[in-house]
């Protein structure tokens, strides 16, 4: 299996160029469901240890339905098949440039939640124009063991998010373990109360704190479905955040902000009005290709399917 690894603001993406399962034809959302239900072993083998790494997201390239798209892609981590992935799309774009498949300018990529745009500024710098994002509910409170009442917004940015601002725990690198434990507890409390995000689960939780740089708008900690935290500021999470800021009248259309991740990597963010009342997010970040490899799965390797959770 031929793969190319990159990172976007520290968050790894593994693009799978060949050797993936046959997902048949039809809309990408259907093929993504097939990947999630019928191919969990494949996903775990490629994304998880020992061949993958904690926090890795895989980008499985597939034939798009829309012939104007450079490729179709389904993203997954060790916990779930994702609707979209912002850092993954920046990593995929840098990978396609590295391969000579695309050059500077605007291109389209098809994902299970719709077509997204990419603007290639240079070999590493990419702007993603995401699918229309929206806040579904504001000020939702849940009782969380050990934390008390936690209040946040439910928003869609390509995945389902619960966004808490301000964070009950200072958002900094020294608190990563405590932040992970707290966000996992919040997600469990939401699930126990049956709180979802339209058709998708709320499988990502974000806590916000003050920025650590003068240019920053805020610093975030993002819990992903696999219980790892996003090293980047999270593209789909930033899209959900833009929808909330726009709904609250806290960020004007076209105004740009700098979002910091918990490790200090950054995205530049802005939004414009979407066709159905949401926002069309614009996310600019940088990715770097790290490795090109062939993954081998010899039958005699007892861990060829990854390490079972
Ligand atoms: O950047 O959208 C994102 C993302 C989702 C999960 C990890 N990164």
Residues 171 and 211 in one domain: yes
In a domain, 305, yes or no: no
Catalytic residue (choose from 43, 58, 69, 85) = 85
Structural element, H or E, at residue 246: helix 235-247
Task: List the beta bridge partners of residue 121.
Answer: none
Residues 197 and 118 in one domain: no
Q: Which residue has the tokens 């790290």?
A: 290
Tens-digit pLDDT profile for residues 178-209? 999 999 999 999 999 999 998 899 999 999 99
Statement: residue 158 has pLDDT above 90: yes
Helical pair 86-98 and 235-247, crossing angle rounded to 10 deg = 130
* Residue 202 pLDDT: 97
**Ligand 1 atom with least separation from CA of 225:** 6
User: Catalytic site residue 234?
Assistant: yes
Residue 162 CA to residue 140 CA, distance in Å, equals: 9
User: Catalytic site residue 43?
Assistant: no
**CA 229–ligand 1 middle distance (angstroms):** 10
Other Cβ atoms closer than 10 A to 127: 19
In a domain, 243, yes or no: yes
> What band does 267 get if pLDDT is binned at 50, 70 and 90?
very high
State how many domains the chain has: 2
In a domain, 177, yes or no: yes
Residue 14, Cα to own-chain centre: how many angstroms? 13
Of 118, 96, 99, 120, nearest in space to 109 by CA: 118
Tens-digit pLDDT profile for residues 7-45? 999 999 999 999 999 999 999 999 999 999 999 999 999
Of 217, 189, 191, 213, nearest in space to 202 by CA: 191
CATH number for the domain spanning 148: value is 3.10.310.10
Residues 39 and 146 in one domain: no
Of 80, 37, 36, nearest in space to 57 by CA: 80
| pLDDT, mean over the chain | 97
Residue 56 domain boundaries: 2-130+290-294
Task: List the beta bridge partners of residue 127.
Answer: 119, 284
Tens-digit pLDDT profile for residues 208-242? 999 999 999 999 999 999 999 999 999 999 999 99
In a domain, 140, yes or no: yes
Residues 122 and 167 in one domain: no
In a domain, 156, yes or no: yes
Residue 13 CA to residue 193 CA, distance in Å, equals: 32
Residues 277 and 139 in one domain: yes
Residues 140 and 277 in one domain: yes
> What band does 63 get if pLDDT is binned at 50, 70 and 90?
very high
CA distances from 255 to 116, 195, 275 (A): 21, 31, 19
Other Cβ atoms closer than 10 A to 200: 17
Secondary structure class of 235 (helix, strand, coil): helix
Mutate which of 47, 82, 93, 239 for ligand 1 pocket (most atoms within 8 A of beta carbon)? 82
Residues 39 and 73 in one domain: yes
Question: Counting Cβ atoms within 10 Å, is residue 227 exposed (0-12), middle (13-18) or buried (19+)?
Answer: middle
- Cβ atoms of 235 and 283 closer than 8 Å: yes
**Ligand 1 atom with least separation from CA of 90:** 1
Residues 205 and 102 in one domain: no
Residues 168 and 48 in one domain: no
* Residue 309 pLDDT: 72
* Residue 146 pLDDT: 93
In a domain, 200, yes or no: yes
Residue 229 CA to residue 106 CA, distance in Å, equals: 30
Structural element, H or E, at residue 189: helix 176-192
Residue 272 CA to residue 254 CA, distance in Å, equals: 6
Give the binding-site residues of ligand 1, using a 6 Å CB cut-off.
11, 57, 82, 85-87, 224, 230, 232, 234-236
Residues 177 and 152 in one domain: yes
In a domain, 302, yes or no: no
**Ligand 1 atom with least separation from CA of 85:** 2
In a domain, 308, yes or no: no
237-262: b (≥16 Cβ within 10 Å) or e: bbbbbbbbbbbeeebeeeeebbbbbb
* Residue 308 pLDDT: 80
Residues 152 and 187 in one domain: yes
Residues 146 and 227 in one domain: yes
pTM above 0.95, yes or no: yes
Q: How many residues would you count in the chain?
A: 309
Statement: residue 278 has pLDDT above 90: yes
């Amino acid at each position: 299996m031929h793969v190319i690894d990159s990172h976007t603001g520290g968050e790894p993406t593994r693009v799978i160029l060949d050797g993936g399962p046959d997902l048949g034809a039809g809309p990408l959302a259907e093929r993504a469901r097939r990947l999630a239900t019928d191919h969990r072993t494949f996903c775990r083998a490629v994304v998880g240890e020992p061949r993958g790494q904690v926090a890795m997201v895989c980008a499985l390239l597939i034939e798009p339905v829309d012939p104007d798209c450079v490729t179709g892609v389904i993203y997954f981590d060790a916990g779930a098949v994702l609707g979209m992935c912002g850092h993954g799309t920046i990593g995929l774009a840098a990978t396609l440039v590295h391969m000579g498949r695309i050059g500077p300018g605007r291109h389209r990529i098809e994902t299970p939640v719709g077509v997204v745009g990419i603007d290639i500024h240079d070999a590493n710098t990419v702007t993603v124009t995401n699918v229309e994002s929206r806040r579904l509910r504001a000020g939702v409170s849940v009782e969380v063991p050990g934390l008390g009442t936690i209040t946040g917004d439910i928003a869609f940015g390509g995945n389902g998010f619960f966004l808490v601002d301000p964070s009950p725990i200072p958002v900094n690198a020294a608190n990563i373990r405590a932040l992970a434990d707290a966000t996992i507890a919040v997600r469990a409390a939401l699930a126990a109360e049956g709180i979802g995000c339209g058709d998708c689960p709320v499988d990502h939780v974000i806590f916000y704190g003050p920025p650590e740089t003068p240019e920053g708008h805020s610093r975030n900690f993002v819990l992903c479905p696999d219980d790892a935290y996003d090293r980047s500021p999270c593209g789909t999470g930033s899209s959900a955040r833009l929808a909330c800021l726009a709904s609250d009248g806290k960020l004007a259309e076209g105004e740009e902000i700098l979002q910091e991740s918990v490790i200090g990597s950054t995205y530049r963010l802005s939004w414009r009005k979407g066709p159905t009342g949401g926002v069309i997010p614009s996310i600019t970040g940088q990715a770097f290709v790290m490795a090109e490899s062939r993954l081998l799965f010899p039958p005699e390797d007892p861990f060829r399917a990854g390490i079972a959770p």
